[in-house]
């Protein structure tokens, strides 16, 4: 999926990507940008313009990463710089590219992102000043005594909600019916929950969440 406010850039990019044999472009609507569109289409990768209104691209990217962890966000910028790279890293996006990148570069990054890689690490390694900035901020949070759970965000609000339903004995199908979303989306969230908690199965995830008080301990597993 491609989300950007510049209509001509959007049209050109979507046309170029549509000609690639291994890429299926799901949506190129210039009015796109809602979380509902992500929910409906479940794209593997979102190319997101950083200057997107009415919510800027950074905020939308952060929300996509939090709500749909199986969708990988690639931020596109008209003028990449170190300060912006630092902000993009904090959103959880997997890559940060110049809008003037070639189709070949875009295709390569999309492929790597879809395979679970983090091309943004290449940008970070090339910018030691930014890497130092990230480290210093993390150290400041620790020394200030901030709750690191709010930094790492072990579970999103949606994942916590789904885990609560699991704890009550609901199946994926039942949870999908309750939340009025697809069963595949529920499966994606469950996979993310198990990965984040390093849990062996659903019961183990529930036990860990109860122990850390992420869900109410009085629900019945």
The answer to whether 49 and 57 are in contact (CB under 8 A) is: yes
pLDDT score at 152? 40
Measured CA to CA in angstroms, residue 130 lies from 122, 133, 137, 208 at distances of 12, 5, 11, 35
- Pairwise CA distance, residues 3 & 171, whole Å: 34
pLDDT score at 220? 43
The strand ranges marked E within the chain are 2-3, 45-49, 72-77, 95-98
| Same domain for 161 and 93 | no
CATH code of the domain containing 169: 1.10.10.10
The number of distinct structural domains making up the chain is 2
What's the start-to-end Cα distance of the chain, in Å? Answer: 38
| Same domain for 116 and 42 | yes
- Pairwise CA distance, residues 163 & 203, whole Å: 10
The answer to the question of residue 68 being in a domain is yes
pLDDT score at 203? 84
The answer to the question of residue 24 being in a domain is yes
pLDDT score at 139? 56
pLDDT score at 123? 73
pLDDT score at 205? 86
pLDDT score at 80? 87
Averages of pLDDT over each 10 residues, the chain, 221 residues: 88 92 79 71 90 77 84 92 82 90 94 88 70 62 49 69 90 94 91 81 83 64 39
Q: In which domain, by residue range, is 101 found? A: 2-136
| Same domain for 128 and 89 | yes
The answer to the question of residue 65 being in a domain is yes
Can you give the pTM of this predicted structure?
A: 0.63
């Amino acid at each position: 999926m491609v989300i950007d406010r510049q209509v001509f850039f959007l049209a050109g990019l979507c046309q170029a990507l549509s000609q690639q044999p291994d890429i299926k472009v799901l949506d190129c609507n210039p009015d796109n940008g809602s979380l509902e569109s992500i929910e409906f289409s479940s794209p593997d990768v979102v190319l997101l313009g950083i200057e997107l209104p009415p919510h800027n691209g950074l905020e939308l990217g952060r929300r996509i990463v939090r709500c749909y962890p199986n969708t990988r966000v690639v931020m596109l910028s008209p003028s990449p710089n170190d300060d912006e790279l630092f902000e993009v890293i904090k959103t959880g996006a997997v890559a940060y590219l110049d809008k003037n990148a070639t189709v070949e570069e875009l295709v390569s990054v999309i492929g790597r992102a879809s395979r679970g890689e983090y091309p943004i690490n290449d940008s970070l390694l090339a910018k030691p000043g930014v890497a130092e900035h990230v480290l210093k901020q993390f150290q400041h949070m620790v020394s200030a005594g901030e709750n690191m759970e709010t930094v790492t965000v072990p579970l999103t609000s949606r994942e916590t909600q789904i885990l609560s339903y699991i704890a009550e004995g609901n199946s994926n199908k039942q949870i999908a019916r309750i939340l009025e979303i697809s069963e595949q989306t529920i499966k994606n969230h469950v996979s993310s929950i198990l990965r984040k908690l390093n849990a062996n199965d659903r019961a183990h995830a529930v036990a860990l969440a109860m122990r850390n008080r992420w869900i109410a301990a009085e629900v019945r597993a």
